Amino acid sequence: MSNEWRPCPCDIGDRFDYGGRGQEVQVEHIKAYVCKPPASTDKAVIVIHDIFGWQLPNTRYMADMLTTNGYIAICPDIFSGTEAWRPDDLSKFDDGLKIQDARTINKEADAVLKYLKEQCSAKKLRVIVFCWGGVAIHHLMMTYPELKAGISLYGKSQFYQGQSVSQIKYTVREIYIVVCLTKIINSVN
């Protein structure tokens, strides 16, 4: 949260020293971090990173946590190779949001969904988003009916400027503190 002492609303906080259990793969025009559980499953979660990008170890840790609960987890580079925002230059924050518009990710979403369906045989698809992705979740849930549940962790959906969010046919939950993600994801058939 921003205030007069910390004017930037985004902060990495504690950066995990974590290598990950999954692997980086090429998914059409983008790279992605993928982790699969040891047992075969048709359940998958797309993990949309925050403004700090797909390579942040903290986000990969969350993807791996979902995998230990029986989900295929994929964290794609939604920025498509564009450099993630760096918190050392607050003056570029607003410009970064304009370049990395969460409502212009259809090409990346199409590639990820195709990969999950064709390469992983996933049928039960969900999405979890962090911060910047709070806008993306509403866009994705309205655009892709195959996504049956969405969770926004501390995302700011009130900034969504698009179709009415009442058009979403499935569950979207906004959470501003981290809770047991798998319990919520499992609550939707």
Under a CB-based contact definition with an 8 Å cutoff, are residues 187 and 126 in contact?
A: no
Encode pLDDT of 123-154 as tens digits: 999 999 887 777 788 788 889 999 988 888 76
Q: For position 72, what pLDDT does the model report?
A: 97
Task: Give dist(CA 3, CA 113) in Å, integer.
Answer: 39
Candidates 51, 69, 72; CA nearest to 126 is 72
User: Looking at this protein, which amino acid is placed at residue 59?
Assistant: T
Per-residue pLDDT of 37-73, as tens digits, reads 999 999 999 999 887 888 888 889 889 999 999 999 9
pTM confidence score: 0.78
Can you read off the two tokens belonging to residue 146? 């195959």
| pLDDT for 20 | 84
Query: DSSP 3-state assignment of 140?
Result: helix
Relative to beta strand 72-76, strand 30-35 is antiparallel
The confidence score (pLDDT) of residue 47 equals 95
Question: If we measure between CA atoms, which residue out of 3, 21, 13, 29 comes closest to residue 130?
Answer: 13
| Residue 184, pLDDT score | 53
- The H or E element spanning position 134 is helix 133-143
Q: What is the overall mean pLDDT for the chain?
A: 77
Q: What is the pLDDT of residue 177?
A: 38
